Amino acid sequence: MNSETVEKNNELSQISPDYVRISMAAAIELGLKPGRISCCSCDCINLLQNYPQGCYANCTYCGLARERPGIAEDNSFIRVDWPLFPTDLVAEKIGELERKKEVGRVCVAQVQDHRANNDLVDMISRVHHRAPEVPISALVTATLLNDEWLVKIKEAGADIIGVGLDAASEELFYSTRGKGTKGPHDWKKHWKIIRKAREMYGPMKVNCHLIVGLGESDRDLVEMFYLLKSEEIAAYLFSFNPEPGTIMENTPRTPITRTRRIQLVKNLIEEHELPESSIEFDKSGTIRMIAAPRKILKLVTENGMAFMTDGCPDRQGKMACNRPYGSYRPGEEFRDYPFLPDASDLKIISKEMKLAEIVKSNESALV
């Protein structure tokens, strides 16, 4: 038996809650892996539950999908390697880092497994015990939860709940995550948990992950942005990046121009009260025109924040979860920037967005 086989066999017994996978960026930040992160730091320590079977869900785009070829230990998640460590060691390292400098946030992510709820509470408690000042998010699997579990997660130390809705419409949800792919997820159950969490945790303490590029229309995303804003739920936008071995591995990525325009509109809706009537769509649901004051467009396109990664905040309210290389690989164009874009980045963004094609200046469109 070679060393690689021995290592794989060992990993089969190294399961949550006693073991946890952490993103490579987090491993570097904690000093558990050598290396450095180009252009930015990793202000959120992302943790992921680990089980030999991986995840029992079967989402068409996910590297942890049940029917993805190979063994779970070889799979990536959002195209990033997640090395495995003892949970207590990771918690200790988080506490050590907090004593050296302020850790922005920790996020503990669930997978679909019958043990996942108990283990999530256990893992959050371990981190909270060793680093009580560090804010903790729980990225939950809504399919597993009920009101009682939401209470237990909060009591363990989590102050924010994240839900991977991903698909921007009910039809797309079922075809990529639910019965259309032999998966367990249900749109109505997700919304029940989202709204119950919003009730328990408070305004902007619940977020929904959405992915641009799964097959939705611009209209689907825009309508979702307005809905979430109206309910004081945060929308965190990801960019689809096909993972090898998944059902959607050969699905083309959405054009960067579309991504930039969606990011712009999202910011205009969330930060500048853009009325729904200010956005026009063509018959396919693609944005055809945006009516917005010139000064607001100039502000948004020149400060760059609209094109940064969406993620949970640190204790000062500054975005902590910047997910370096989550939506793109080193050397590729940034789909979302893990740092504030500088002047040279903004020139690139402007060319990518081709804003003149869709903007109609309207000085009265925004208040």
The pLDDT averaged over each successive group of 10 residues in the chain (367 residues) is 53 88 92 79 91 90 80 47 94 97 96 97 98 98 98 98 98 97 96 98 98 98 98 96 92 96 98 97 97 94 95 94 75 87 96 93 48
Buried b (16+ CB within 10 A) or exposed e, 127-148: bbebbeebbbbbbbbbbbbeee
Please report the pLDDT score of residue 142 as a whole number.
Answer: 98
**Residue-wise pLDDT tens digits, 277-311:** 999 999 999 999 999 999 999 999 999 999 999 99
Please report the pLDDT score of residue 25 as a whole number.
Answer: 86
- Residue ranges matching CATH 3.20.20.70 in the chain: 3-253+311-324
**Helical spans, DSSP H, in 56-211:** 87-100, 116-130, 147-156, 170-176, 187-201
Please report the pLDDT score of residue 71 as a whole number.
Answer: 47
Residue 20 pairs in a beta bridge with: 49, 85
| Cβ–Cβ < 8 Å for 301, 355 | yes
Residue 360 pairs in a beta bridge with: 291
DSSP strand pairing (359-361 vs 84-86): unpaired
In 3D, which of 230, 237, 246, 257 has the Cα closest to residue 337?
Answer: 237
From residue 263, alpha-carbon distances to 210, 222, 236, 278, 325 in Å are 12, 10, 10, 16, 17
Please report the pLDDT score of residue 78 as a whole number.
Answer: 45
Please report the pLDDT score of residue 82 as a whole number.
Answer: 87
315, two tokens: 């204790």
3-state class percentages of the chain: helix first, strand second, coil last, to nearest 5? 40, 15, 45
Other beta carbons within 10 angstroms of residue 283's beta carbon come to 6
Please report the pLDDT score of residue 42 as a whole number.
Answer: 80
| Cβ–Cβ < 8 Å for 41, 104 | no
Question: By CB neighbour count within 10 A (0-12 exposed, 13-18 middle, 19+ buried), where does 106 fall?
Answer: buried
Topology, domain 3-253+311-324: TIM Barrel (3.20.20)
Q: How far is Cα 309 from Cα 16, in angstroms, rounded to an integer?
A: 28
Question: By CB neighbour count within 10 A (0-12 exposed, 13-18 middle, 19+ buried), where does 281 fall?
Answer: middle
Please report the pLDDT score of residue 325 as a whole number.
Answer: 65
Question: By CB neighbour count within 10 A (0-12 exposed, 13-18 middle, 19+ buried), where does 329 fall?
Answer: exposed
Please report the pLDDT score of residue 367 as a whole number.
Answer: 38
| Cβ–Cβ < 8 Å for 105, 46 | no
